[in-house]
Structure 1
Amino acid sequence: MLPDPSPSITVDGLTLRPLRAEDEEAVRAAQAEVAPDGFDVLLGLSGRSFHAIREALAAWARGDVPPGWVPSSFLVAVDGAGDVVGRISVRWELNEALRHVDGHAGYAVRPAFRRRGHAAQMLRGALALLAERGVESALVTCGESNAGSAATIRSCGGVLRDRVDVGLDGAPLPEPTLRFDVPTAPYALRG
């Protein structure tokens, strides 16, 4: 049996689940809120209708991806009050570009919900899902100046592998990237 392309998981009261139609207002607000940080919540899809965004994300989860991309799941993080506090993208495999800079997971927390442990909960959920798919060690990255994200990754067991200054094309990155190896076994789902 194939793994669920659109998994859901709850970690310490925070639920990671696929995007629903009723999430549009919150997710578009999140896009606007984190755009000044240079982060794209909607992965380049923000100009599309919300229905088209949801269809594209579902296709990517099934493995129907654009050339050069890998199967991935886009999950919103919803707290106990029903607020969308952020999102995480879980990449089920890595290609050369992802191995170089972006890794297995990318997440964002809305500014009003930061410093509450949500990023760590999101990452722990992603690590559990990756463990379920047989990934033993996840590559998780962040910009060198993002001390909060580096602390989140370390809190989940991340060990700094190295620092990358240039892209695959040899051009300097806008900011050096820290690459961490994070074991998934501590988060594996127990039957």
Structure 2
Amino acid sequence: MTASTSLRLRPLRLEDEDAFRAAHRAMLPEGFEFGWAFDEGTSWSAYLERLGDERIGRQLPPGIVPATFLVAEVGGRVVGRTSVRHVLNDYLERFEGHIGYGVLAPYRRRGYATEILRQSLVIARSVGVGRVLVTCDEDNAGSAAVIEANGGRLDNVVPTEPGRPAKRRYWID
């Protein structure tokens, strides 16, 4: 079975709490937030409610845009995640783009990132995003290859804060 036939994106469920928290903790040392703006002290039901509000654009704090957060599942295991932003603010347009995705270390190099991005593009189109911006750190060759495999065309590379890698900005039509 290939990544494209076995991986599915889906919303978080109540029973995902332990797997989600473990994934979040596992990726923090890499400087990656598995759980977008997740705080370990937040109740799971409150976090799920917040993600639901973000998906429909309700009660958004300043600077936050409507977004769909989904986990990637293969064989009943959470292997990664995606966040599809429905619109961009100035910060997202410069550094983060419409789609942010990640794969847990034990599941890398299996084609899951490419499939997560492919399915995320379908979701972006379904919420009205025509031209999709996807970014990655300049030193992340794997992510650059994933974006290019999904039709990404490099627009430019922009500097970030001191001590952090620049961002490669790709557009996918």
> After TM superposition, is the score higher than 0.5?
yes
Q: Which has the higher helix share?
A: 2
Deviation at 1:69, TM superposition (A): 1.1
Question: How is 1:49-88 mapped onto 2 (pairs within 5 angstroms)?
Answer: 49-64=43-58, 65-79=60-74, 81-88=75-82
Q: Which residue of 1 aligns with 2:146?
A: 152
Q: Which residue of 2 aligns with 1:125?
A: 119
Deviation at 1:11, TM superposition (A): 4.8
Q: What is the one-letter code of the residue matched to 1:58?
A: G
Distance (Å, rounded) in 2 between the aligned partners of 1:22 and 1:178 = 36
User: Share of identical aligned residues, percent?
Assistant: 44
Aligned mate of 1:19, from 8, 12, 31: 12
Distance (Å, rounded) in 1 between the aligned partners of 2:98 and 2:146 = 15
Distance (Å, rounded) in 2 between the aligned partners of 1:173 and 1:68 = 24
State TM-score, norm by structure 2: 0.92
Contact 1:165 1:173 in 2 (8 A): no
For structure 1, the residue ranges without an aligned partner over 5 or more in a row are 1-9, 184-191
1:182 has 2:168 as partner: no
Aligned length: 169
Distance (Å, rounded) in 2 between the aligned partners of 1:15 and 1:164 = 32
Cα RMSD, aligned residues only: 1.5
> Matched residue of 2:115: which SS?
helix
